Amino acid sequence: LGDFRKAVQSATLSSPAGTRFLSTVTGKVASSDLADPEYWVKHVAQTVRFADAMAAVEAEGVDAFLEVGPEPTLVKMGKRCVSGANYQWLSSVEGKDAKVAEAQAAEEAAAVL
């Protein structure tokens, strides 16, 4: 983790403006800790609390979920973690053209949100 710590310490970090961020490190809303390099070291080293974070998202009243990446892995996991059925799930692009279309799909999905 030493090399990762050095790399993240050299990065310019900030908390997202105008957006709540639910941490899979704590399972709760994160804020200024996102700008702390040690948060990201913990993110790599500790157990992922995905179900806790999804429960927190559901408790916040969120009804749309967006995953940006080459496979819809987290969308599939997320559907198993929440109790309601009235959610909009926006998944990433699948297949060999994923890298080319990923940015466009993210932009379109974000417009829906």
Q: Which of 5-19 are b and which e, b meaning 16 or more Cβ less than 10 Å from the residue's Cβ?
A: eeebeeeeeeeeeee
| Separation in Å, CA 32 to CA 6, 77, 90 | 20, 27, 27
- In whole angstroms, give the CA distance from residue 87 to residue 112: 13
**How sure is the predictor about 38, in pLDDT bands with cuts at 50, 70 and 90?**
very high
Q: Which two tokens stand for residue 79?
A: 């559907």
At residue 56, the pLDDT reads: 87
Q: Tens of pLDDT along 10-34?
A: 999 988 788 778 888 888 888 788 8
- E strand or H helix at 105: helix 98-112
In this prediction, residue 81 has a pLDDT band, given cuts at 50, 70 and 90, of: confident
Say whether pLDDT at 97 is over 70.
no
Average pLDDT, the chain: 82
Q: What pTM was computed for the model? A: 0.66
Q: Quickly state the pLDDT bin for 3 (edges 50, 70, 90).
A: very high
Q: Look up tokens 């961020």; give the residue.
A: 21
